[in-house]
């Protein structure tokens, strides 16, 4: 009695899932390398996912052709095994690619700078008015969630503008990962905007916005709480 031929539905489904994951990573990696700005934490290694694509096709051939010819159930399991390997590499080996920031990310970035700048203002007794005074603030902001032509932006930059009467809404020649600090003429108030990428994953740098409106913060010297009146 001839051994039963392996079923094809499991290899086909496994290959479909693994190719969907591989093609998504290849798409992100290729676009990250060519886009001016990418709202990603890292660029997927294209070479690695290209190798996985070749392995997926080879595993499918083994399951669809060789397993049927030899009636070998073990060969039909290769696509499923490859799916497990690829999923493990994606979730536990390669670095995270997509940023965890949601639609409120612009507000969080601006408010984080505002809070640090106001803390610095309390120490100075006035708003910070130079790049040297703002350097400790920028140093605490972490790493921008952007790539420029596939390379990670290593740190936030600062653009200081003076004699402003409102927040800066033009990108100009500023790059992604830049905080724009606009100080009023009297030094009593400053407005903060962020140059990055938010409206889509790939594209040119833009002022971060929500619902089509630029997101900005207003930095003021915190007022000391009024002394409690004696009872």
Query: What pLDDT was estimated at residue 3?
Result: 54
Rounded percentage of the chain residues whose pLDDT exceeds 70: 91
Is 76 found in the same domain as 18? Answer: yes
Question: Distance from CA of residue 188 to its chain's centroid?
Answer: 34
Select from 61, 93, 125 the last residue of a domain. Answer: 93
> Which residues fall within 8 angstroms of residue 112, CB to CB, at 6 or more apart?
141
Q: What is the average pLDDT across 206-216?
A: 91
Is 111 found in the same domain as 87? Answer: no
Domain presence at residue 168: yes
Task: Provide the number of structural domains found in the chain.
Answer: 2
Residue 222 in contact with residue 123, Cβ under 8 Å? no
Residue 203 in contact with residue 197, Cβ under 8 Å? yes
Is 211 found in the same domain as 112? Answer: yes
Is 172 found in the same domain as 89? Answer: no
Residue 182 in contact with residue 77, Cβ under 8 Å? no
CA dihedral 27, 29, 35, 37 (to 10 degrees): 120
Question: pLDDT digit string (tens) for 67-114?
Answer: 677 666 677 888 999 999 999 999 999 989 998 878 889 999 999 999
Beta bridge partners of 157: 178
Query: What pLDDT was estimated at residue 19?
Result: 95
Query: What pLDDT was estimated at residue 230?
Result: 47
Is 85 found in the same domain as 145? Answer: no
Domain hosting 206: range is: 105-220
Q: What is the average pLDDT across 155-174?
A: 93
Confidence check: pLDDT of 5 > 60: no
Confidence check: pLDDT of 23 > 80: yes
Is 118 found in the same domain as 87? Answer: no
Domain presence at residue 228: no
Query: What pLDDT was estimated at residue 39?
Result: 96
Q: What is the average pLDDT across 105-128?
A: 94
Angle at 102 between CA 115 and CA 200, to 5 degrees: 115
Select from 93, 116, 149 the last residue of a domain. Answer: 93
- For residue 185, give both structure tokens: 């003429």
Nearest to 131 by CA among 156, 112, 154, 106: 156
Higher pLDDT, 139 or 1: 139
Confidence check: pLDDT of 224 > 80: no
Query: What pLDDT was estimated at residue 74?
Result: 76
Read off the pLDDT band of 231 (50, 70, 90).
Answer: very low
Select from 93, 120, 155 the last residue of a domain. Answer: 93
Question: pLDDT digit string (tens) for 26-49?
Answer: 999 999 999 999 999 999 999 999
Nearest to 63 by CA among 48, 51, 81, 50: 81
Is 110 found in the same domain as 213? Answer: yes
Confidence check: pLDDT of 52 > 50: yes
Return the minimum-mean-pLDDT range out of 6-20, 51-65, 109-123: 6-20
Q: What is the average pLDDT across 112-121?
A: 94
Beta bridge partners of 220: 189
């Amino acid at each position: 009695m001839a051994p039963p031929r392996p079923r094809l539905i499991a290899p086909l489904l496994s290959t479909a899932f693994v190719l969907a994951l591989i093609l998504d990573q290849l798409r992100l990696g290729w676009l990250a390398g060519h886009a001016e700005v990418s709202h990603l934490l890292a660029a997927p290694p294209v070479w690695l996912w290209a190798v996985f694509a070749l392995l997926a096709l080879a595993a499918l051939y083994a399951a669809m052709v060789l397993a049927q010819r030899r009636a070998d159930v073990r060969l039909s399991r290769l696509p499923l095994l490859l799916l497990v390997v690829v999923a493990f590499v994606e979730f536990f080996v390669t670095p995270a690619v997509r940023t965890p920031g949601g639609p409120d990310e612009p507000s969080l970035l601006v408010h984080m700078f505002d809070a640090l700048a106001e803390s610095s203002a309390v120490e100075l007794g006035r708003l910070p008015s130079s790049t040297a005074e703002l350097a400790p603030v920028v140093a605490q902001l972490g790493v921008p969630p952007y790539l420029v032509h596939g390379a990670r932006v290593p740190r936030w930059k600062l653009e200081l503008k003076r004699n402003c009467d409102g927040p800066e809404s033009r990108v100009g020649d500023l790059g992604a990962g830049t905080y724009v600090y606009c100080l009023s003429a009297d030094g009593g108030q400053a407005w903060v905007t962020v140059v990055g990428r938010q409206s889509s994953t790939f594209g040119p740098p833009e002022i971060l916005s929500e619902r089509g409106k630029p997101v900005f913060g207003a930095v003021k010297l915190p007022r000391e709480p009024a002394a409690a009146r004696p009872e």
